Structure 1
Amino acid sequence: MVARRPETPSQTGGPYVHIGLAPKQAGFDIFDNNFGNVLVDEDTPGERITLEGRVFDGSGTPVRDVLIEIWQANAAGKYAHPGDTQDKDRDPSFRGWGRTGGDFDTGAYTFDTIKPGPVPGRNGSTQAPHVLMVLFARGINVGLHTRLYFDDETAANAADPLLTSIEWEVRRNTLIATRSERDGKAVYTFDIRLQDTPDGGRETVFLDI
């Protein structure tokens, strides 16, 4: 007979998540190489874009202690990872991964990156350009995974295997970032809602990974 053991108690990611994962933002300059929100340098090919937004709780209040990580393919649609064996060039000037916290006053987050190319999906399908995101904060036991797609990729989005697996359009739309222009640069705004909010905002689709 196998003895049953009690579950190990869980903890949420906070309230001091920044000190361990993004210490410079919290005022602790302790690492020689700080992970940040800039994924590119002056040599990185592709369209330069800014990703920005806020994370809201169920009351519609911005979550100011959230930590967000992103990873994405480069402009050619190749990840900076040895597991991506596509016959495409890997871009040494593109990190492909970033981390930042929400602003302590406004809750806003930003990333400076490039627009990714499409990547292969399962069974010969093609995934629309997208950015993978994971959130950590107080009250969240396990990181919340989601995706950011681009509203000017209509045809690609319509064929994306993940987006088309979401039954309701109103739910699919929670994964679409809205493009605007600022100082000659493309800006995509992507707000994330942990629950439905009083202003009518729908809970963002999160992925079971």
Structure 2
Amino acid sequence: MTTEHGEPATTPSQTVGPFFALPDGLPWPDGPEIVGPETDGAFLLRGRLLDGAGETIPDGLIEMWQADEHGRFDHPDDPRGPSASIRGFGRCPTDSDGQFWFRTVRPGALPTPEGEWEAPHIDVTVLARGMLDRVVTRIYFPDEEANATDPVLSTVDQQRRDTLIAVAEDGGFRFDIRLQGADETVFFAV
């Protein structure tokens, strides 16, 4: 494409579609309830989903999966046997203020194939408007000594590790997810 004077013309920018809309089948009634309120050690993990300008994202979907308090997953392929205590998976759409929440328990440490141990953490997937693919991150706990030797966390630049650490608050923890910007949450290629 050229202008009437023969110079190259810029084509108008467009947002790539399809646009993200939360399909009815993604959330379900127990979505954010990874464990029930009567479960020993249950707490609320709350947060907000933010864009690069710090504005909340009201139409995102946060998905979490985790091991139980003994470091076992509710999956038949877990070599230590499947967890019998928790489902270990939840989904929560963000509300009009970009907020999400999960009721869960603190997971146990996980063995790696190399014989190391990963610190207790929760895996997170984020889906939202303007994203062509999901992004994946982790939530670590602030008072966990094993964070210092976690093989994944130790690969993250020291100055950015705090974007992966939840903040303790009354009755649970807070973990805000920033998709871009100066305080962008660290995301992992999976």
Same fold (TM over 0.5): yes
Code of the residue aligned with 1:39 in structure 2: it is I
What do residues 132-175 of structure 1 show as CA deviations (whole Å, max 9, x unaligned)?
A: 0001111111111100000011x210010000011x22211110
Q: Distance in 2 between matches of 1:72 and 1:12?
A: 30
- Once the two structures are superposed, the pairs formed by residues 1-209 of structure 1 within 5 Å of their partners are 11=17, 14=20, 16-22=21-27, 34-41=29-36, 44-45=39-40, 47-86=41-80, 90-91=83-84, 93-104=85-96, 106-153=97-144, 155-166=145-156, 168-181=157-170, 185=171, 187-197=172-182, 202-209=183-190
The equivalent of 2:12 in structure 1 is none
**The residue matched to 2:31 in structure 1 has which SS?**
coil
Instruction: Please state which structure has a larger fraction of its residues in helix.
Output: 1
Shift of 1:122: 3.3
- 1:180 to 1:43, Cα distance in 2 relative to 1, 3 A: closer
Query: How many residues of Structure 1 are paired with residues of Structure 2 in the alignment?
Result: 175
Shift of 1:83: 1.6
Any unmatched runs of 5+ in structure 1? 1-9, 23-32
Greater C-alpha radius of gyration? 2
Q: Distance in 1 between matches of 2:88 and 2:57?
A: 25
Deviant stretches of 4+, over 3 Å: 10-13, 42-45
TM-score (norm: length of structure 2) = 0.85
Any unmatched runs of 5+ in structure 2? 1-15
Query: Identity percentage over the alignment?
Result: 39
Code of the residue aligned with 2:160 in structure 1: it is R
Shift of 1:85: 1.1
RMSD, aligned α-carbons: 1.9
